[in-house]
Amino acid sequence: MIQIREATAEDWPQIYPFWSEIVEAGETYAYPEGLTSEEARDLWMYDHVVVAVEGSAEDEHILGSAKMGPNRPGRGSHIGTASFMVSPAARGKGLGRTLGDYCVQWHKDNGFHGIQFNAVVETNTTAVRLWQSLGFQIIGTVPDAFDSTSHGRVGLHVMYLPLT
Amino acid sequence: MIQIREATAEDWPQIYPFWSEIVEAGETYAYPEGLTSEEARDLWMYDHVVVAVEGSAEDEHILGSAKMGPNRPGRGSHIGTASFMVSPAARGKGLGRTLGDYCVQWHKDNGFHGIQFNAVVETNTTAVRLWQSLGFQIIGTVPDAFDSTSHGRVGLHVMYLPLT
């Protein structure tokens, strides 16, 4: 059974392998490539970070992670944002949806007025369809803004879900 | 005569007063409010920063500043972005256009494929019209994403200018 719990600093060594595998694959995220574990940690482990885990407390495996928080400071802080990483080895278990549902509820519980995704790669159709199924709409698409390994230059969607 | 030159660390004490005046006015930027000069400096003085100046070398006045660089790291770094601050005391001199023209040329000279503005406040019509006159288009608008002092919740435009 998959559960979601808050991440702790001790979780990072289990997150980093799939985090870096996903970034290096070059299909979904515009993080710098070739980061050390410490550098990557500083880009992921802030705001509210959760992990999706399987197994008993004694033999727990981290299958995915999500981070969420305000999309902008100050006068933009009522809109949230989030990022998601699901271990490629754990695909097909519905983890994206489980983490996405958690993310929407977390933003509601914390009084956010909406959730904005700033850069959803248009060829990442699994993600695009998942967010659409949660109610997100494509606000617009910046053309050729992401250099995908297998597709070349593709667009980045700005997606938005109003919560009030 | 107004000139644009690269900013140096010594320029910040002249930038900070209008920078903070603009942020505190709450109409155009979602920076945190109430920042110290040092905190604000760290949010502005990185990547390529320029100032618009007037006067002789011995009696120079900084009237505005712009910063520019990649909008995202890694696979998004071929698209640039920029931010602009014009001293309220120097409005009406065409500084926004002068800095905007410089910004477009700088991105061309440095091989960027486009320029993306992530959060142009829709009620900041002077800026919206200026960027449109430079060829930027509104890609989409995130509704109610900015809490404006005088207008309440208003939208944030994503604007884009292709350069290739």
What is the predicted ipTM?
0.95
Type of residue numbered B52: A
Average pLDDT, chain B: 97
Kindly tell me if the per-residue pLDDT of B69 is higher than 90. yes
CA A107 – CA A127 distance, rounded (Å): 19
Q: Which residues of A fall within a CB distance of 8 Å from B139?
A: 139-142, 158
For residue B80, CA distances in Å to A137, B67, B105 come to: 25, 11, 12
Are the Cβ atoms of B26 and A75 closer than 8 angstroms?
yes
- Compare CB distances from A74 to B32, B72, B73 and report the shortest one's residue: B32
Kindly tell me if the per-residue pLDDT of A1 is higher than 90. no
Provide the terminal-to-terminal Cα distance of chain B, rounded to the nearest Å.
Answer: 32
Half-sphere exposure of B137 (CA within 13 A, CB side): 8
- In which band, very low, low, confident or very high, does the pLDDT at A43 lie, cut at 50, 70 and 90? very high
Q: How far is B118 from chain A (nearest CA, A)?
A: 9
Q: What is the pLDDT of residue A110?
A: 98
Are the Cβ atoms of A143 and B162 closer than 8 angstroms?
yes
Q: How far is B73 from chain A (nearest CA, A)?
A: 5
Q: Which residues of A fall within a CB distance of 8 Å from B71?
A: 145
- In which band, very low, low, confident or very high, does the pLDDT at A124 lie, cut at 50, 70 and 90? very high
Q: Is the Cβ–Cβ distance between A97 and B128 less than 8 Å?
A: no
CA A114 – CA A47 distance, rounded (Å): 17
Q: How much of chain B exceeds pLDDT 90, in percent?
A: 96
CA B66 – CA B34 distance, rounded (Å): 21
CA A125 – CA A130 distance, rounded (Å): 8
Average pLDDT, chain A: 97
Q: What is the pLDDT of residue A56?
A: 87
Are the Cβ atoms of A74 and B160 closer than 8 angstroms?
no
Q: How far is A31 from chain B (nearest CA, A)?
A: 5
- In which band, very low, low, confident or very high, does the pLDDT at B33 lie, cut at 50, 70 and 90? confident
CA A72 – CA A74 distance, rounded (Å): 7
